[in-house]
């Protein structure tokens, strides 16, 4: 036996005796925001949190605005092109009627009992608790898309961002306004404007080319999607409403994980919901501040428009239940509205005075995510 052959045998024997090193299971997250944006940063921090919570058994790679766009996310996640994604459910009205109805209740935060700069923190908690712990019909429609609801962040209240002045009801009449969901489309029609359904990823170009006069968007998008480079006027106080930002996971992928890995994901998702919501709050502040520095008009909307807006919200809240009953045969609207209002009251108190994403994440974990039974949830 040659020395070389003896060496090969010795090496092979040592490898056989060495403990097996299990490779980490890598997850993919398809994000629809551009690289370098605040929400993409939140997703990258989420990837780190997943690794830490799982003790390195799970890793995650984030694909910002590359693997799937927001418009492609539902079908792509359903078919397993990514393991997780942010699903903007108003883009898929027929697939997610329950989730969209719940999201439209965000107009509640414009009411006196709930309004305030931190209202998005409360509504994110109320929505996630309702869907994950109280809504069987929500779970069924998500499962029908081969997905699992992993909780949600929230944008701040929407402001009207325009390339032309809108200082009166007459000036708003006929303006083409980007509406990212049914609530904002109804609002635009009620105000005499023309709602335009267009993806957030296409809105900058539409504004710059004059296809749109305004976009109803949260102020964070001034920086996230560079609207700050094209709009000239930002009007605070209308149309209001907030956009739910839920994370979904491919159901087959979720069910293939161990209970320990699923629990680690829940822990990390409490962090993600908190950071995503906090990022939108901070970027809304930054977007408005930077707009002022650039000479963009940032002002409260005209009193007449504010009054019209409040009247619309009061009437629309009573209409949402009927709309979803007529269009989607939902029979739980009244109960859902009452429950969300109850939860929003509780969450407004829970999040009052929160000063950081870390503090918010602890509240979300204690009140929602720690209560999820991962042995049965999404299974």
Band the pLDDT of 22: cuts 50, 70, 90. low
Q: What global pTM score does this model have? A: 0.86
113 CB burial (10 A radius; 0-12, 13-18, 19+): exposed
E strands, the chain, are 25-31, 58-64, 84-86, 147-154, 159-162, 176-178, 194-196, 214-217, 233-239, 244-250, 297-300
Counting residues of the chain whose pLDDT is more than 90, the rounded percentage is 84
Task: Report the pLDDT value the prediction gives residue 182, as an integer from 0 to 100.
Answer: 86
3-state secondary structure 68-135: CCHHHHHHHHHCCCCCEEECCHHHHCCCCHHHHHHHHHHHHHHCCCCCCCCHHHHHHHHHHHHHHHHC
Distance CA 350, CA 338 (A): 19
Whether 276 contacts 161, CB under 8 Å: no
Answer yes or no: is 217 within a domain: no
Average pLDDT score over residue span 348-358: 96
Distance CA 242, CA 266 (A): 24
Tell me the CATH number at 64: 3.40.190.170
Average pLDDT score over residue span 313-335: 92
The residue range of the domain holding 328 is: 25-153+245-283+319-371
Task: Report the pLDDT value the prediction gives residue 112, as an integer from 0 to 100.
Answer: 82
Average pLDDT score over residue span 333-348: 96
Answer yes or no: is 149 within a domain: yes
Distance CA 105, CA 98 (A): 11
Q: Which two tokens stand for residue 23?
A: 């490779």
Task: Report the pLDDT value the prediction gives residue 12, as an integer from 0 to 100.
Answer: 43
Distance CA 99, CA 364 (A): 19
| Mean pLDDT taken over the chain | 92
Distance CA 97, CA 85 (A): 19
Q: Which residues contact 312 (CB under 8 A, 6 or more apart)?
A: 187, 190, 191
Band the pLDDT of 76: cuts 50, 70, 90. very high
Task: Report the pLDDT value the prediction gives residue 312, as an integer from 0 to 100.
Answer: 92
Nearest to 282 by CA among 124, 125, 121, 44: 121
Torsion of CA 82, 84, 85, 91, to 10 degrees: 90
224 CB burial (10 A radius; 0-12, 13-18, 19+): buried
Answer yes or no: is 107 within a domain: yes
Residue pLDDT, tens place only, 80-109: 999 999 999 988 999 999 999 999 999 999
Answer yes or no: is 347 within a domain: yes
**What's the gap between Cα 127 and its chain centre?**
11
User: Is the pLDDT at 169 greater than 80, yes or no?
Assistant: yes
Number of domains composing the chain? 1
Answer yes or no: is 189 within a domain: no
- Terminal CA-to-CA distance of the chain, rounded, Å? 57
Average pLDDT score over residue span 347-363: 97
User: Is the pLDDT at 335 greater than 80, yes or no?
Assistant: yes
Average pLDDT score over residue span 18-37: 80
User: Is the pLDDT at 40 greater than 70, yes or no?
Assistant: yes
Answer yes or no: is 192 within a domain: no
User: Is the pLDDT at 210 greater than 60, yes or no?
Assistant: yes
Answer yes or no: is 289 within a domain: no
Answer yes or no: is 263 within a domain: yes
Q: Which residue has the higher pLDDT, 183 or 5?
A: 183
Counting residues of the chain whose pLDDT is more than 70, the rounded percentage is 94
């Amino acid at each position: 036996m040659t020395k070389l052959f003896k060496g090969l045998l010795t090496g092979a024997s040592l490898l056989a005796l060495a403990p097996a090193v299990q490779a980490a299971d890598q997850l993919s997250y398809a994000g629809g925001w551009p690289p370098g944006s605040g929400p993409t940063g939140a997703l990258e921090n989420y990837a780190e949190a997943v690794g830490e919570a799982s003790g390195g058994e799970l890793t995650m790679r984030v694909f910002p605005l590359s693997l799937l766009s927001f418009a492609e996310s539902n079908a792509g996640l359903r078919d397993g092109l990514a393991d997780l994604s942010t699903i903007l459910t108003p883009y898929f009205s027929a697939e997610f009627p329950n989730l969209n109805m719940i999201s439209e209740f965000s107009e509640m935060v414009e009411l006196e009992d709930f309004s305030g700069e931190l209202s998005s923190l409360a509504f994110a908690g109320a929505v996630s608790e309702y869907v994950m712990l109280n809504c069987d019909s929500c779970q069924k429609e998500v499962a029908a898309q081969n997905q699992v609801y992993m909780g949600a962040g929230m944008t701040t209240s929407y402001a009207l961002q325009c390339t032309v002045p809108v200082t009166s009801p007459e000036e708003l009449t006929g303006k083409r306004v980007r509406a990212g969901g049914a609530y904002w489309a109804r609002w635009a029609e009620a105000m005499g404007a023309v709602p335009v359904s267009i993806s957030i990823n296409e809105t900058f170009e539409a504004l710059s080319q004059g296809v749109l006069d305004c976009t109803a968007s949260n102020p964070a998008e001034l920086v996230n999607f560079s609207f700050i480079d094209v709009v000239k006027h930002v009007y605070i106080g209308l149309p209001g409403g907030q956009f739910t930002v839920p994370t979904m996971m491919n159901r087959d992928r979720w069910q293939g994980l161990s209970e320990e890995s699923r629990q680690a994901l829940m822990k990390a998702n409490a962090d993600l919901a908190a950071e995503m919501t906090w990022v939108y709050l901070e970027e809304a502040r930054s977007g408005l501040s930077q707009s002022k520095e650039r000479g963009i008009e940032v002002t409260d909307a005209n009193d007449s428009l504010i009054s019209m807006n409040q009247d619309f919200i009061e009437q629309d809240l009573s209409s949402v239940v009927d709309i979803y009953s007529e269009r989607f045969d939902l029979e739980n609207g009244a109960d859902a509205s009452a429950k969300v209002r109850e939860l929003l009251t509780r969450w407004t108190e829970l999040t009052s005075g929160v000063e950081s994403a870390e503090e918010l994440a602890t509240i979300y974990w204690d009140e929602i995510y720690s209560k999820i039974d991962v042995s049965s949830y999404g299974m």
